[in-house]
Structure 1
């Protein structure tokens, strides 16, 4: 009988030690997920707004109202955020040998109360940099007439920019079964509807969206669960220069 009592006491003691640690671990994971989820949402908002600004950069030398627009969107989409501050905004500046860069940084506090008041506010910062869609002036020597008459290898092929190292024809089954990266325009909105699952109706004109050209009727955000991988169109010579090889199924074009 004593032996049974000792065993029960041992299990009770073990549970008293292990259970609080287990509960704290589960709560910590949950709070970390909230923190990273909020940071991801804010980063996407910054990327989306900056991409829209980049698409309008041609012929637009200044953008004084952009910080206020970005700040308002972050506040509307994230109710737990306080003290939002745009710490840096540079429009069409130069740096690291590149021109017409757009840089924006945002600092904010996440109001997330932890048990026992261990930490109430988390200060975080996100930063985005891209280049405006303004083209580039060529200062090289102009091509003469004979060079212009030559037929160069300017055929177009399709690649998966983040998956695989092969280029394909447009009719390749690998291309037709996956979405295509496209810029959202007024014409595209007439042809495709916004995906309701990912909230694609909030995507601004000039941003990237993803469409299934073969049988799709809607356009999606990059974060949509339907978009697994996507294709883009590039020149064949560029694909070869980046190390891509022809698809064994379609020949690559």
Structure 2
């Protein structure tokens, strides 16, 4: 089944077949991706790609909104609810095991060219994406990061011999970091509580650093629209 984006002029968007789960916004299939076998077959001669209506064009194609936002630009709660579906996980990782950020079109060039790592929002914790010295799989945090395919992703750093992880997301003026779906994948792997996710989702820049606990984990986070969200999770 050919799902690759056709080489045509103009914006195109994926046309989801009937009874298939909706993919994330601006999703495009990575090489080797195939639909979940449990999904019903698409109708014969189904057009998987259709012209995108300018009125619903992706944010990248639309004029930039320079108005400052005080809460998370991508609603964390919506991403959390979406990731809780087993079908949605197939959209994110497909059959390739790639990290969610790659499938969502993260501009890795901008990330690679970033000369410095921003300080954590509301914290002095610096973000280090290097996890080469960690023997993954021996702790719950290591397992969650590894299962999401995020062991070498900018903005995600495992520390304390696998008993903590720091996640820095991108912001309006910060291209270095993880995307929301990557952060959600780790939180899902650690079985974060709905109440903590809801509090993160409603955190504003003026709220300062927040804390929350669930199970064996303690989390602290801060948010600023320029920097993104900084999250530190520690195993207690």
Q: Which band: TM-score by shorter chain?
A: under 0.3
Greater fraction helix: 1
Normalised TM-score (structure 2): 0.28
- When the two structures are superposed, what TM-score results if normalisation uses the length of structure 1? 0.27
Greater Cα radius of gyration, structure 1 or 2: 1
Name the structure with the higher strand share. 1
